Amino acid sequence: MAYINAATSGNFARMLISVNDGSTASLADFLTTGSGTPVLHTVDAGVIDTPALQDITITNNANTFRWRQLDVLSEKVISTVSTNSIAGNLVVDPATFFGDDSGSLALDKGIFNLSNEKTKIDFLIALEGITQGDRVVYGSGYITNLAPAVSADSPVWVSPITIEVDGDFTVAILGATIS
């Protein structure tokens, strides 16, 4: 039995955020082909590589419809549309959280403005890194549930983050090239 190690040296679970360009999310929205053996890909310029994440949760909640029939002893069920979301908590880094408003890319806007302006985003969750052979989950959606908070016991700003997913998740394994 294998497991997914989310925190190896130089390679770890990541959340990448890019502004949606009106088309379906693809790997090329986030990554460019890198180098090495296996290939360590590069996060594309303008993409937010969310720093200081405390946790990431991927939720695929398939809804169901149940009914009863007189000729069976138990309920029948079929799957209907799913509700998908990404949730996490992060320590606020001012550069990526607020951006510098110098342009329209995700990194320019920052996480807070992408939520505040209701900008549709593409996201990529790298389960164990962005090296060739690593598994990723990506899609599109909207950032919600930002609530930065600080307390005397924990004097750094921490915020939850939720991405409400528009449509399905796409699961992929990174190849040697990104196209």
Site residues (CB under 8 A) for other proteins?
Answer: 6-7, 12-14, 51-54, 56, 90-91, 154-156, 158
Nearer Cβ to other proteins, position 13 or 161?
13
Cα separation, 138 vs 27, whole angstroms: 8
The least distance separating other proteins from the CB of residue 30, rounded to whole angstroms, comes to 17
The least distance separating other proteins from the CB of residue 154, rounded to whole angstroms, comes to 7
According to DSSP, the β-strands at 135-144 and 53-67 are unpaired
Alpha helices, H only, 39-134: 94-98, 106-116
How far is Cα of residue 35 from the mean position of the Cα atoms in its chain?
24
Nearer Cβ to other proteins, position 1 or 152?
152
The least distance separating other proteins from the CB of residue 177, rounded to whole angstroms, comes to 25
Nearer Cβ to other proteins, position 4 or 28?
4
Cα separation, 9 vs 17, whole angstroms: 23
Neighbours of 70 (CB within 10 A): 4
Please answer whether residues 50 and 111 qualify as being in contact, where contact means their C-beta atoms are separated by less than 8 angstroms: yes
The least distance separating other proteins from the CB of residue 117, rounded to whole angstroms, comes to 26
Nearer Cβ to other proteins, position 19 or 110?
110
